[in-house]
Amino acid sequence: MKCEEVIWQILGLLDQESKSVQDFLKIDKNCVQSLISLDKACCNALVIAARDLLKCANDEQNEYKFQAVLRAIISRQQSETFELISDAFESNEAIDKETYLNYLCDFGDSRAVPKLIRFLEQYETVNDETQKNASFVSLVKEAIDHLDGKYSQ
């Protein structure tokens, strides 16, 4: 079976009905572990699957599958890790910005600082005061400081 087929078969397991949260978490853990265990020849196919899922991450299930693939790519320490995390954080489709912010901090790459500053600048101009999430803005500023970017505004 080709890598692409195996990846989508594994991700299909996340579509199963779960009897409980613990059952779902077990399925999730097994899926991510299966993706991590794929042969090195599947690295490119994992990245392609992640990019495809990110394009339609405005659907909650697709974003969750993207996150499962991303966690596998992070664990596999693939070279595309930083780029995929950054793309997810900057994506208009991805909704779970806080998760991607945490991944950026955990990854610890100072290349994220300009992206985070640009995000804050755009966030300030697009959102009016009633739409702003002050705690998220605070988290982004903390992330910049954590990555040695010294946010000053």
Q: What confidence tens digit (pLDDT) does each residue in 107-129 have? A: 888 899 998 988 888 777 765 65
Per-residue pLDDT, 127: 57
- Which amino acid belongs to residue 40? K
Q: Where are the alpha helices (DSSP H) in the chain?
A: 3-12, 21-36, 43-55, 60-76, 81-90, 97-107, 112-126, 134-146
Per-residue pLDDT, 133: 72
Give one DSSP letter per residue of 88-117, joined into a string.
HHH-SS---HHHHHHHHHHHT-TTHHHHHH
Closest CA to 98 of 136, 134, 148, 138: 136
| CB-CB contact of 66 with 53 (8 Å) | yes
The C-alpha atoms of residue 56 and residue 54 are separated, in whole angstroms, by 5
Under-50 pLDDT residues of the chain:
none
Per-residue pLDDT, 14: 94
**Entry pTM:** 0.86
Q: pLDDT tens-digit profile of 90-110?
A: 999 999 999 999 999 988 888
Per-residue pLDDT, 150: 66
Per-residue pLDDT, 121: 83
